[in-house]
Structure 1
Amino acid sequence: MNKNSNAYTFIFAIAMVVIVAVTLSFTSTTLSPLQKENVRKEKMQNILSTVGIETDRENAETLFNKYITQQITLDHEGEEKEDVDAFEVDLAKELSKPIEEQSFPIYLANYDGSDYYIAPMRGNGLWDAIWGYIALKDDANTIKGVIFDHKGETAGLGAEITTDWFQQRFVDEKIFNENGDLVGVSVVKGYSGGNNKDDNKVDSISGATITGDGVTEMIEKRLKNYLPFFKKRQEIKVVTR
């Protein structure tokens, strides 16, 4: 065939498209299991980090199985759903359902002689979804640690919710106010409360008010779904209503 002909050029282009498509498809199929495994282990890392356990992906599953004592899926009344795997619950999909049909995963951990409750969260930032995990001490009131992430917040502004210095502000904050109401922790612009851990407030990120409001709403809204569960546990001393 004449290599200078239009037919040759057309056939060559089609062949290249097919080769590239097959190569990309093969690569995607080959790497998909590895990608899913990395996501699974990263999730374990995030859950563990809320109670102060830092690990790499290689050791994440071992430590997760060691320190996470229970994985429970709850309904909106705080009753356990025995047929739903907590780790596999996708909050992005759950939030699109009526509250009565949603599943609420919670992880119970024991680390360094202390018990913790770890709940996943998901909400909305300025541009797109934000999410994370929050660990409560065994009083179901005091925050042990948090981790936040986002899909599209602005670098240097809303994206700062992923930084240690911002997440550290939540450590030892309370989610119930003095009247026993679950109010979460508010991210407040111009906060002047210093190191007060009993006012349910932390300082915001400069220039990221809407993202901070998203964090505030996410914490309160998601944790309120676990109130029935906390009330059913006799060892919880905090007054909840």
Structure 2
Amino acid sequence: MNTSSNAYTVSYVAVMVIIVAALLAVTAGSLGEKISKNKEIDNKIQVLASLNVESDFDNAEELYAKYVKREIAFEGEKEFNVLKKVIFECEKDGKTYFVLPQEGAGLWGPIWGYLSLEADKNTVYGAYFSHKGETPGLGAEISTPAFQSQFVGKHIFKNGELVSIAVVKPGKIDESKDYVDGIGGGTITSQGVDKMMLESLNCYKDFLTTK
């Protein structure tokens, strides 16, 4: 074979292009699967956090299988797109809890979280919130235990009506419902959490009002 001919050169280049393309496709597919798996595990860590269960990438799947007994599909309001269209029925220390996904908007981008309720579907057992780009020291504080722990023991119903939990300016009160202090200097993000919870919980209203 004449390796210096144009035909050989063209054939060689074509073969190399095919080989490189195939390798890139395999690498991209493998990387995509890894990213998807990491996202799945991260979501499980967040669900567990709302149940006051600490986990990491090494043990999240084991703990998730231990505490999450059922994933309940539901249909919410069409105009509202929740983070996960599923309710997590969980069991911990012999007690039943329900974890409800939340999704909303902060000052700089999406915010989300999970709210766990006791079996009465009213009393908050735990809360987890996170964000994509809120300001450190301000709106980003919604992802801290100091903010999230305020929700424990609060109620989302008042006098039989689903009212959610208010997020108010520090030092203020809301006599119409249970409330927590918002983030000082993070007013818009705090308002985003307030709105997110109200809209999310109303999305689950049929489930929450069914005993």
TM-score (norm 2): 0.80
3-state SS in 2 of match to 1:72: strand
Question: Residue 188 in 1 paired to residue 162 in 2?
Answer: no
1:191·1:204 contact (CA, 8 Å) conserved in 2? no
- Give the 3-state SS of the residue equivalent to 1:55 in structure 2: coil
CA shift for structure 1 position 36: 1.2
| Unaligned residue ranges in structure 2 (runs of 5+) | 1-16
* Paired AA for residue 69 in structure 1: K
Structure-2 residue corresponding to 1:8 = none
Query: What is the aligned partner in structure 1 of residue 52 from structure 2?
Result: 52
Q: Distance in 2 between matches of 1:161 and 1:26?
A: 39
Match of 1:122 among 103, 111, 122: 103
Q: 2: distance between equivalents of 1:231 and 1:54?
A: 30
1:137 partnered with 2:115: no
User: What's 2:33 paired with?
Assistant: 33
Residues matched between the structures, number: 190
Q: Does structure 2 conserve the Cα–Cα contact (< 8 Å) formed by 1:125 and 1:215?
A: yes
Shift of 1:199: 4.4
State the 1:187 CA deviation: 1.0
Q: Aligned partners of 2:210, 2:93: CA distance in 1, in Å?
A: 25
Match of 2:181 among 178, 203, 214: 203
CA deviation after TM superposition for structure 1 residue 29, in Å:
3.6
Question: Structure 1: which 5+ runs fail to align?
Answer: 1-17, 77-94, 234-241
SS of the residue 2:207 aligns to: helix
Q: Aligned letter for 2:36?
A: K
- Map of 2:88 onto structure 1: 107
Match of residue 215 from structure 1: 193
Q: Distance in 1 between matches of 2:80 and 2:108?
A: 24
Compared with structure 1, are the counterparts of its residues 127 and 36 closer, same or farther at alpha carbon in structure 2 (3 Å cutoff)? same
Write out per-residue CA displacement over residues 176-225 of structure 1, whole angstroms, 9 at most, x where no aligned residue. 12x222111111113356xx9x9411111111111000000111111112
Q: Could you tell me which amino acid in structure 2 is paired with residue 225 of structure 1? A: C
SS across alignment from 1:232: coil
* Letter of the 1:188 counterpart: V
Does the C-alpha gap of structure 1 residues 70 and 26 become closer, same or farther in structure 2, counting only changes over 3 Å?
closer
Report the equivalent of 2:143: 162
- Determine the structure 1 residue equivalent to 2:205: 227
Q: Please state whether the residue corresponding to 1:173 is helix, strand or coil.
A: coil
Report deviation, 1:31.
2.0
**Root mean square deviation, CA, Å:** 2.7
Supply the distance in 1 between the matched residues of 2:201 and 2:31 (Cα, whole angstroms).
36
- Looking at structure 1, the residues matched to 190 and 55 of structure 2 have their Cα atoms a distance apart, in angstroms, of 28
3-state SS of 1:57 partner:
coil
| Residues in 2 aligned to 1:206 and 1:99: alpha-carbon distance in whole angstroms | 28
Find the counterpart in structure 1 of residue 61 from structure 2: 61
Deviation string, structure 1 residues 108-144 (Cα, Å, up to 9, x no partner): 0000111101010100111111101000011111111
Aligned partners of 2:170, 2:144: CA distance in 1, in Å? 19
Deviations 1:43-74 (A, max 9, x none): 11111111111112122112211211110111
**1:199 to 1:75, Cα distance in 2 relative to 1, 3 A:** closer
Within 2, Cα distance between the matches of 1:121 and 1:183? 15
